[in-house]
Amino acid sequence: MRLSLFLVSMIFSVTAIAGGNVYRHSDDTLQKLYSELHYLNQVGHEIHNSYDEKVANDPQQLRFCEGEYGYVGTRARATIGIANRIESPNKEEYIAAGWKAYQCIKCSGDISHCDAIPPALETIKAEYNALQSQ
């Protein structure tokens, strides 16, 4: 009985400690948001340079594109979450840029969505520099 009570209390305490860390996200920083958006912008341009013409000529190429770059969608959705958790006066702009990045990296998307990312990168860089100078 004591052993089972001990095990239950240990499991509960470990779960509670781990659960408390889930919402802290101390690694969600402006630097991380910047690097993720920068990466997604680069990959988006790579996708559209490689596949836009191919997909227009052969719709089957869309499957190949999604097979090659499908994993990036997970990263793009995570970037939206990072933007949502950052405390910033520009939070809404960062979230919108995350959604544009998500649309940018989609094989069926349009490259024009990628154009919204560089201004957000400049805003992040300016905010980061302002925080560093304080």
What is the pLDDT averaged over residues 102-122? 95
Compute the CA torsion angle 69, 75, 80, 84 (nearest 10 deg).
Answer: 180
Q: Is residue 21 part of a domain?
A: no
Q: What is the pTM of this model?
A: 0.78
Domain that residue 109 falls in: 28-133
Q: Is residue 14 part of a domain?
A: no
Q: Is residue 6 part of a domain?
A: no
Q: Which residue has the higher pLDDT, 62 or 4?
A: 62
pLDDT at 100 over 60: yes
Q: Which residue has the higher pLDDT, 26 or 66?
A: 66
Q: Is residue 76 part of a domain?
A: yes
Q: Is residue 73 part of a domain?
A: yes
Q: Is residue 22 part of a domain?
A: no
Query: Number of structural domains, the chain?
Result: 1
* pLDDT of 27: 59
* Model pLDDT for residues 36-70, shown as the tens digit of each residue: 999 999 999 999 999 999 998 998 999 999 999 99
Number of Cβ atoms within 10 Å of the Cβ of 106: 19
Q: Is residue 129 part of a domain?
A: yes
Residue 47 CB partners (closer than 8 Å, separation 6+): 65, 69, 105, 107
Q: Is residue 7 part of a domain?
A: no
